[in-house]
Structure 1
Amino acid sequence: MAHESHAQQRRPRLAGVDVARGVALIGMFIAHLGVPLSAFAVSGDPYAIASGSMDPATLADRVAALVWEGVSGRSAALFAMLAGVSLTFIAGRRDVVTSATDRRRIRIKIVVRAVVLIMVGVGLSAFGSVAVILHYYGVFFLLALPLLWLRGRTLALIGGLVVLVGPVIGVLTSSVAEEVTGDAPAALVGVLHEPFFSYDLSGGVGDASAPLELTLPSDGLIDLLASGTYPAVAYMGYVIVGMLVGRLDLRSRRVRTRLATIGLVGAVLGYGGSWVLVRLLPTEPPKVFGVDAGELLIADPHSNTAFEVLGNTGTALVVVGLCLFAADRAGRLLDPLASVGTMTLTLYSAHIAVMWLTEPLASGYGLISVVLAHDAEIYVTAAFVLASMWRYRFGRGPLERLLASAANGVAERMVPRPRASAESVGV
C-alpha cells in the first residue's frame, strides 16, 4: 500500500492526556473562581495575598495563595501544550506516510476548527466574565499549519527559538504598542467598547444590584499575536512543545519519565533563573529598548516572559508525565477527571456563560449570595458530575461533537474520499 489512511494512523485514546486536560481545566476554574474551600478557612483574599498586597494571617491563607498562584498562568500554558498534542494526534505522526490529499484534508479540518474556536471565543468575550482564550487558540491553530509535518529537529529548533525569543518580542511590543500604533484601526490594535446590552438586575439587599452587560471584544490582531493576555509569540512555544510531545510514544514508561525529568529541569531553570537574576538587578534596572530589564526577567503569572514560558513549559511537561503514569495506575479512580478532559470546550464555554449570569447575584442576595460564596466548589463538583454522566451516556461532549462534525463535514465536501476507500474518521 502506498500510504496509510488517516484512520489507520490513529492511536487508541490515551486516558492520561484526558486526565491532563481535566487538570488544566480545573486549574482554570480555580484561577477564575477562587480556591475551593477557601471561603470556609481563608481570612483574606488569596489573590491579594499571592500578589503581596495583603499579608497572610493563617496557614490556610498561605495554602490558598499558593494554590491560586500555582494554577494562574500555568493552567493556560498546560492547556496550550495539550492543544499542540491534539494537533499532532489530528495530523498524524510525520513518520507515517500520508498522501498530499490526506494532508490537504487534515489542514482543512484544522482550519475549520480554528475558525469555530475564534467565533466561539469572540462570542464568549462579549460576556466579560474572564479573559477568554479560545479565539487565541484558533489563531494558534492557524499558525501551526506550516509546522504540522516538519522534521522533529526542525520543529524543536523553531520551538526553542519561540520559547526564548518570542516572549521578549511580546514584552517589548506590549510596552510600545500604544505609542507605535497611534490611530491604527481597531481590528489591528483593539479598542474598549461600551456595552451594547445592559440590564440592571435589582432586588438585592440594600443598594446591591449589578448589570448584566454584553460588550464587543476588545482584542485586536496585535493583542492576539503579541500583547494580549495569551499572545501567540509566547503561547506558540507551548503549542510547538506539545506537537513534539504528541509525536512521542506516550505509552512508554521511559518517555513519560523523560518528560517529567526534562520538565523539572525546565521549571527550575525558568523560575529559578528568574528568581536569581531579579535579585541581582541594581536598584535602578537598566533599560532594554525602553523597557525595564526587570520586566524581561520576572516569571510572574501571565507576565509572558521567556522565564515564565520556560518555567510553565517545564511544569506542563511534569504534569503530562505524571498524569500519564497516574491514569494507568489509578484505574477508574480518575475517570471523573478524564471525563472532564474529554469535554473541555463545552465546560470552559459553559462556565464563562454561567459566571456572567450569576455574578450579579454573588453579593446582596441573601441565601443566593451565601451559596455563591462557594462557587469554586460548585463549578468543580458540577464539572465532575455532569462530565461523567454525559460521557457515560453520550461519549464526546456536545460542543466537541459539533466541532468535529463541522471539521469532518467541510473536509469531506472539499476533498471527498474515493468511494472505494471511503472511511469514517472521527478526529
Structure 2
Amino acid sequence: MRLHGLDIARFLAFCGMVLVNFRIAAQVAPGTDAISLFTNSLEGRAAALFVMLAGIGVSLGKPDRATMFRRAVFLFVIGLLNLTIFDADILHFYALYFLVALPFLTASSRTLLWAAAGTLAIGLAGLLVLDYEAHWNWDTLTYAEFWTLEGFLRHSFFNGWHPVFPWAAFLFLGMWIGRQDLASRRVQARMVLWGAAAAVLGALPGMLLQDPELAELFGTSAIPPGPFYIIAASGTAMAVTGLMLAIGPALDKAGLGEWLAAPGRQALSLYAAHILLGMGTLEAMGQLDGSLGTSRIFGYSLGFCALSMVLVWVWNIFARNGPLEALMRWSTRFPR
C-alpha cells in the first residue's frame, strides 16, 4: 500500500522550494517581517526534505544497481540541460547522490548510518581545509568556471549549491528511514520526536557561539553546509515526514489526501515547471529586478503551488505519470 504521507511531504517540499527560489529569482531582499522569516527558515530545509524522501523512495522501491545507474544518468542529463537556464539546479546533484549510494543499496541499516556520518565528516574536513569561497561571486550568486573540470568537481562535491559532501548524508539517512515500518504509529511518533529534538539541538551551537567564523561553521545555514546544518535539516525533514505519515489517513478521510499527494508524485515535472513556467512568467512580466515586495512574491509563490495542484489533476485525466516521470521510467526500462 502506498503511503500518501510521503507524497504529501514531497509536495510540501516542492512548495517550500518554490517559496525560496521565486524570492531569490525575483531578487527580493529578505526582511524581518513574519513572511520573510518563514521563507528564510525554508532555505536549505525544503531541498533537504526532497533528498531525504528520495532516499526513502530508494529503500521502498528496492531498485537494482542498473536501474539506479540509469536514473542517475537521466537526472544528470536533465540537470545539465536545466543548468543552462537555472544555476541552482539540484537534479544533477541527485544524480551524483545516486551514484555515491550505488554500493550501499544492499548494505545493512547500520552501514547506512555510518555512510551518512562519513559523508558528513568528509564535508566538514573540506570546509576546514579547502577554500569554500573559491569561484563564487556572492553579490551576484554566480559561480565562475563551472564548465571546467576543476570548477565542476569543486562545485559538485564541495562548494556548490547542494554538494555531494555533505548533502548525500540526507539520502543515506532517508535510505535508513525507508527500512523502518513507516506505517507504524510508533515509528511515526519517533520520527516526529527525534526529528524535532535533532532540529533544536542542531541549532544550539550556532546560537551560543560568539565568534562569527565559528558561528558560521557550526550554524544551521545551508551555505556553507556545516555539520550542525545537516543535523538540524535532517531533524526537520524527519519530523515533517513523520507528521505527514501520521496525519495522512485523516487527510484521506477528509478528501484532501489525494489532492495533496498527487502533485507530490509528479514533483520532478513540477520542479521543471516552476523554473520554466513560474520563473519564466516572472521574467516575461519584467519582475526579476527586485521590484516585487515580500508579500507579492509570497502570494505569487502560493498561487503557483495551488495552480500546480490543479494542473496535476487535469494532467491525471489523460495520463497517470507526469511527463518527466514517464520519460525517466521509459529510460530506465529501455532494453539493456
Deviating above 4 A after TM superposition, structure 1's stretches of 4 or more consecutive aligned residues are none
1:339 aligns to 2:295 (yes or no):
no
Partner of 1:75: 46
Q: Name which of 168, 173, 176 aligns with 1:236.
A: 168
1:358 aligns to 2:290 (yes or no):
no
Within 5 Å, give how 1:190-201 maps onto structure 2.
Answer: 190=151
1:159 aligns to 2:82 (yes or no):
no
Partner of 1:112: 70
Offset of 1:351 from its aligned partner?
1.4
Q: Is the 8 A contact 1:113 1:138 kept in 2?
A: yes
Which has more radius of gyration? 1
Question: What is the distance in 2 between the residues matched to 1:341 and 1:75?
Answer: 13
Offset of 1:364 from its aligned partner?
7.7
1:375 aligns to 2:300 (yes or no):
yes
Question: What is the distance in 1 between the residues matched to 2:321 and 2:178?
Answer: 21
Q: Is the 8 A contact 1:174 1:226 kept in 2?
A: no
Offset of 1:303 from its aligned partner?
2.7
Offset of 1:176 from its aligned partner?
7.1
Partner of 1:33: 22
Using CA pairs below 8 Å that are at least 6 residues apart, which structure has the higher relative contact order? 2
1:169 aligns to 2:125 (yes or no):
yes
1:48 partner SS:
coil
Partner of 1:48: 30
Q: Name which of 397, 407, 418 aligns with 2:332.
A: 407
Task: Name the one with the larger helix percent.
Answer: 2
1:302 aligns to 2:291 (yes or no):
no
Partner of 2:84: 126
Q: Percent identity?
A: 30
Q: What is the one-letter code of the residue matched to 1:325?
A: A
Question: What is the distance in 2 between the residues matched to 1:83 and 1:398?
Answer: 18
Q: What is the one-letter code of the residue matched to 1:120?
A: I
TM-score between the two structures when normalised by the length of structure 2: 0.86
Q: Is the 8 A contact 1:222 1:228 kept in 2?
A: yes
Q: Name which of 8, 33, 53 aligns with 1:19.
A: 8
Q: 1:356 to 1:316 in 2, by over 3 A?
A: closer
Deviation string 1:347-401 (CA, Å, 9 cap, x unpaired) is 1011111245323333389xxx99x965313311211111122235422211111
Question: What is the distance in 1 between the residues matched to 2:81 and 2:44?
Answer: 22
Partner of 1:324: 245
Question: What is the distance in 1 between the residues matched to 2:170 and 2:131?
Answer: 20
Question: What is the distance in 2 between the residues matched to 1:63 and 1:393?
Answer: 40
Question: What is the distance in 2 between the residues matched to 1:329 and 1:166?
Answer: 42
Question: What is the distance in 1 between the residues matched to 2:322 and 2:30?
Answer: 36
1:230 partner SS:
coil
Q: 1:185 to 1:246 in 2, by over 3 A?
A: closer
Offset of 1:333 from its aligned partner?
1.1
Q: What is the one-letter code of the residue matched to 1:395?
A: R
Deviation string 1:301-331 (CA, Å, 9 cap, x unpaired) is 4331111110000000000000101111111
TM-score between the two structures when normalised by the length of structure 1: 0.69
Offset of 1:152 from its aligned partner?
1.2
Root-mean-square deviation (Å): 2.6
Question: What is the distance in 2 between the residues matched to 1:176 and 1:29?
Answer: 26
Q: Name which of 79, 91, 108 aligns with 2:62.
A: 91
Q: Is the 8 A contact 2:159 2:224 kept in 1?
A: no
Partner of 2:149: 188
Q: 1:320 to 1:363 in 2, by over 3 A?
A: same
Q: 1:132 to 1:264 in 2, by over 3 A?
A: same
Question: What is the distance in 2 between the residues matched to 1:261 and 1:247?
Answer: 18
Give the number of equivalent residue pairs: 317
